[in-house]
């Protein structure tokens, strides 16, 4: 059970969990490949990258958007759905070709929430905008 499930309030339901694109695993893969010429010295870095990826949670409930990261410590960013003003997609050429990008959610005031390197950012945008606020 992750942070999103643990943090649900009464009547709150998870609508969607978003996945990172495989491109987010490239640093970990790089450290694994470098393990051969360094006699395994970079395997600890690969393990660290793997743990970082496993600790990231992205999701939307019927009340809020949630971004959580952290292995030992925890950092969360949350935004009430009623505060969302815009949902933008930031996607470069490589992102368009491979199907990944960032989704930037802008709320009232100066608050922004960015889901980085998500798989199929257009679908993430649709899912966020399709949640009925309760």
Please give the full DSSP string across 35-48, using - where no structure is assigned: TTTTTTTTHHHHHH
Percent of the chain residues topping a pLDDT of 70: 99
Within-domain flag for 69: yes
9 part of a folded domain: no
Domain of 94 in residue numbering reads as: 16-130
| Number of structural domains found in the chain | 1
5 occurs within a structural domain: no
Strand pairing report for 64-69 and 57-61: antiparallel
pLDDT digits 0-9 by tens, 59-107? 999 999 999 999 999 999 999 999 999 999 999 999 999 999 999 999 9
Q: Is the dihedral of CA 126, 86, 17, 50 positive or negative?
A: positive
Residue 134, pLDDT score: 63
Kindly tell me if the per-residue pLDDT of 44 is higher than 90.
Answer: yes
Q: Which domain CATH number covers 94?
A: 2.30.29.30
Residue 110 has pLDDT above 90, yes or no: no
- pLDDT at res. 50: 97
N-terminal to C-terminal alpha carbon distance within the chain? 24
pLDDT at position 104:
97
pLDDT at 31 (0 to 100) = 95
């Amino acid at each position: 059970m992750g942070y999103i499930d643990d943090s649900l309030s009464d009547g709150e339901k998870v609508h969607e969990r978003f996945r990172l694109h495989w491109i987010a695993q490239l640093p970990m893969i790089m450290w694994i490949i470098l393990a051969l010429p360094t006699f395994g010295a970079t395997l600890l870095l690969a393990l660290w990258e793997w743990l970082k990826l496993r600790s990231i949670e992205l999701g939307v409930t019927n009340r809020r958007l949630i971004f959580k990261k952290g292995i030992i410590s925890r950092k969360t960013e949350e935004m009430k759905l009623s505060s969302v003003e815009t949902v933008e997609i930031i996607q470069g050429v490589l992102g368009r070709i491979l199907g990944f990008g960032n989704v930037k959610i802008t709320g009232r005031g100066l608050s922004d929430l960015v889901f980085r390197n998500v798989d199929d950012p257009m679908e993430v945008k649709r899912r966020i905008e399709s949640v009925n606020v309760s």
